[in-house]
Structure 1
Amino acid sequence: MSQTASPAPMYAPVFPARSEHHSVRGLRYHFLVWGDLARATDAQPLLLMVHGWMDTAASFQFMVDALRAQPGWAERPIVALDWRGFGQTETPPATDSYFFADYLGDLDAILDQLSPGRPVDLLGHSMGGNVVMLYAGVRSERIRKLVNLEGFGMPATQPGDAPQRYIKWLDEIHKPVRLKDYDSLDAVAKRLQTTNPLLRAEFAQWLAQHWAREENGRWVINADPAHKRPQPFLYRVEEVNAFLSRIACPVLFVEGAQTLYFMFFDGKFSREEFLQRVALVPDFRLETIDQAAHMLHHDQPEALAAHLAGFLTT
């Protein structure tokens, strides 16, 4: 008689977060909070963390547990958010697509609420890393130190690309869009491990319950399907470079040694081009973590925590 394999043991957070909701630009935003925000000081400010595309705030739990073990981090306030239309944050009404500027607008409003009058340490992963770099180019006074985890940017576009991008966008908003659902939480965990073979089984089991929710006997991804639609706007490198050159706070960029990020662009964007862009940032350092890929906060949270503590601890 064949037997179905039992799910892997589930990770148990060492420092569980508490869940909070706040109104941000008319949306009910969800936050995970570790510690007391009132304990923030100039030397130990709030650490605010923002996730990447198709991810959630819970993605940072493993890294927070490792960071809490670092000297001076036992009680420092830490917050992670769910971007609009992800996780438990509300989806804007009648939304058929998302625009990048809104992430900067949301971030600005969130800092007004969480840390008025005091700069924060700001961390972003992937898409979130791109958001915080642009934000630092216009609001550096609100950031003490910035950490970018694999937010490399995108290939340059040309003016001649614009008409076709708008055609594609117009076509896409006429089509229904959906995300794949799953028959069990274990299937969601296996999907996460398929996407990232470096993800530990117990981490995948724990993440699955935050990455998806049960509806009518199926497990549905906690994300608005409209996030899959492309944006029509060009990625203008000249504009991005203008942002980068204005960043006045120290920046730490952390990459995974096994990242496959640049392979997805068929030679249209290289690590060398990325290095040319970030050379414009006045105070920039790059560090690499071995045995880690794009989701390095999942792959090597302990090593990443050591890098963060070394950079963020005054």
Structure 2
Amino acid sequence: MNSNAMNSNDKTALVLGASGGIGGEVARQLRDAGWTVKGLKRGLSAAHELQRLHEGIHWLRGDALNAADVAGAAQGCSVIVHAVNPPGYRDWDRLVLPMLDNAIAAATAQGATLVLPGTVYNFGPDAFPLLCEDSPQRPVTRKGAIRVEMEARLLAASTCGARVIVVRAGDFFGPQPGNNWFSQGLVKPGKAVTSISNPAAPGVGHQWAYLPDVARTMVELLAKRETLPAFASFHMAGHWDATGRQMAEAIQRVAARHGRAPRITALPWWLLKLASPFVATLKEMQEMRYLWQEPVRLDNARLLATLGDEPHTPLDDAIEASLRGLGCLPAASALCLTVAAG
């Protein structure tokens, strides 16, 4: 272990991507669990810093692509959460690995635990339909190959002074907009739900993960980090949509409580294909179509053996919070719900 390694009881964490979906959830839950949390943000102004002061996060001006910025922000940290991604999927192949290398260098220098939110992209159809942590990683997409390389670099880092926790989950959804299917495919942030665009093929199951549950899982694993292997990977079961329509039907059910029931339509994949040469996000969505054409499920037995159970918010509650956070429910209904909850 590096001589700069932090004491295992130190509770200071750097969250890269703390202004995003999963990064923001992890930052807030670490804060609520008594951690001192740092966040790195480009173009941070004094006004922006004051605006976010109430969040209890120590914001620092910096860029995840700048090794010196990351190293400086990581000083005194026993945990680094790598939840940063290029905005809008742009330049994924050029930016993702350099950002990770900066986080690895900082974690190694500090003897810190590095946490990565993982995906199923690094697995190919030969490993489907049920994925365990040690299933073969033979991806069929460019993005999947990058994910495999990310984990390979993390594995190497775990032999050089850093510790690593990878938590793989299904497609994210939650109260914050982000690069996910829920807020970019099924519904439209800031607009009432009048229709739901369902990407799944009929009868094909799909795995979903509620962001606050993923964040809580990471926080609980961090509390046990000294008992875990130097490189530890875990799968979350999340919410399993057995028919490929259950998520859309749950959105329909929740939205109907606040107005008319929206209709469910099939996602026009042909339109995504036509537009993908001009829109980076649509190109990435088109590349991941294979994950909607056959069932892919994650086995969480290892996680259950480690934590005893998996944090799990009931689906309708998770969707209610997600739609409200995305601005998809009528303001009056959201206000009534807030008053009732209080």
The TM-score, its normalising length taken from structure 1, stands at 0.29
Which structure has more helix as a fraction of its residues? 2
The TM-score, its normalising length taken from structure 2, stands at 0.28
